Amino acid sequence: MAASAAAHLPLRGPPRAGAAPSRPSAAAVAGLRGRPERRGLAAAPRGGRGLGGVRTEAVSGGDGGGGGGLREPMVPPYNVLITGSTKGIGYALARKFLEAGDNVVICSRSAEKVESVVSDLKKEYGEQHVWGTVCDVRDGKDVKALVEFARDKLKHIDIWINNAGSNAYTYKPLVETSDEALMEIITTNTLGLMICCREAINTMRNQPRGGHIFNLDGAGSDGRPTPRFAAYGATKRSVVHLTKSLQAELQMNEVNNVMVHNLSPGMVTTDLLMSGATTKQAKFFINILAEPPDVVADYLVPNIREIPSNQSMKPTYIRFLTGLKAYSRIFSRLAFGARRNKYITED
C-alpha cells in the first residue's frame, strides 16, 4: 500500500538476486519466470547426503530446543500460511501457491469472508489443499489457535507470510488522525507482526524441515516520508528493523533451520491503495507504478518457492518494484505519456 512517489522510489538499486496431500501441477514446472531480484540467496546447502540421495543439513538449536540434528530437505508441495489472505495481495498469493500445487491456510478477522473464500478456492483447487480460519493477528491467543489449526491440517508449516496490515482506510495528516485509527494501524502492523513472528519461529524451529517467514514491507519501509499516512509508514519502517533483529537473534541462538525474509510487493491496486487516490500526485504515481495483485503474485510466488527448493537458509529481500523498474516507468511516462489514466483518470 502506498500513495506517494517518495514512499515508492527505493533508496537502493535492484537487489541481487508433506503431510498434507500433494498433487501435480504444471505451474510447479514452469513456475520461475526470470531471475529473482533478491539478496543473499545461497546456491546450495552444506551437509551430508541423506537417504535416497536427498541432501540434508546439520543444524543446531538455541535455548529451548529445536533446530538440532539433521534438517530434513524441504521439497514441494509446500505448506503455506498467509495472514490477511481473503482479499488483495494476500488472496492473490494464496491462489498462486495453489496453482503451483501447494497447500494453503488462509485467515482473516471476518468469518464470513473466510468461509466464502475457502468455499470458492476448494471448488477450484480441491477439498484437501486449502483451509481457512478466523484470526485477529493482534491477539496472541488467536495466533496460537491459528498455529494449531494449521498444524492440524498441514502437520507442518514450510512458508509463513505475514501479509495482514491496515491503514484504517485513513489518509490525512497525523494531527487529524483519531485514536481509534492509530490503534488499529499500530496494533495490526507492529504488534500483530511481532506476535506472528514469535509464534512462527517457535513452531518452525521444532520442525524437522524448519521453515521460512516472509514479512511484507510497504510505503515508508525505506525511510522515506509518507505524508497523509505517517503512522502506516512508521509501522512499515519497523518491519525491516524487526526482520533484521530476528535474523540476528536466530543466529545468536544458533537456530539454523528458520529464516526471516522481507517481501516487497510495491504498489498494488488494492482497495486500501485506491482509497487514497484523492490527490493529483497519488493518481499520477498509482497509474505509473501500481499493478494488480495477480500480476505481483505471478512474480513473487515463484521467487518465494525457489528459496526452499534451493535449500537456502540465507536472508533475502524479494522486490517486485525495483528502483530500475520505477525510474524506467517514470521516464516512459514523462517522455511518451505511457500509462496515463491506466487505473484512474488524472486531473
Active-site residue list: 232
How far apart are the C-alpha atoms of 71 and 311, rounded to whole Å? Answer: 10
How far apart are the C-alpha atoms of 81 and 88, rounded to whole Å? Answer: 16
Residues of 289-320 as b/e, b for ≥16 C-beta within 10 angstroms? bbbebeebbbbbbbbbbbbbbebbbebbbbbb
How far apart are the C-alpha atoms of 343 and 237, rounded to whole Å? Answer: 27
**Which residue matches cell numbers 546439520?**
58
Residues of 179-207 as b/e, b for ≥16 C-beta within 10 angstroms? eebeebbbbbbbbbbbbbbebbbebbbbb
Q: Name residue 57's beta-bridge partners.
A: 71
- DSSP helix, strand, coil percent of the chain (3-state; round to 5): 45, 15, 45
**Which residue matches cell numbers 524487526?**
242
Which grid coordinates belong to 134?
478466523
How far apart are the C-alpha atoms of 266 and 3, rounded to whole Å? Answer: 11
Contact 86, 112 (CB under 8 A): no
How far apart are the C-alpha atoms of 261 and 238, rounded to whole Å? Answer: 14
Give me the numbers of helices (H) and strands (E) for the chain, helices first please: 12, 9
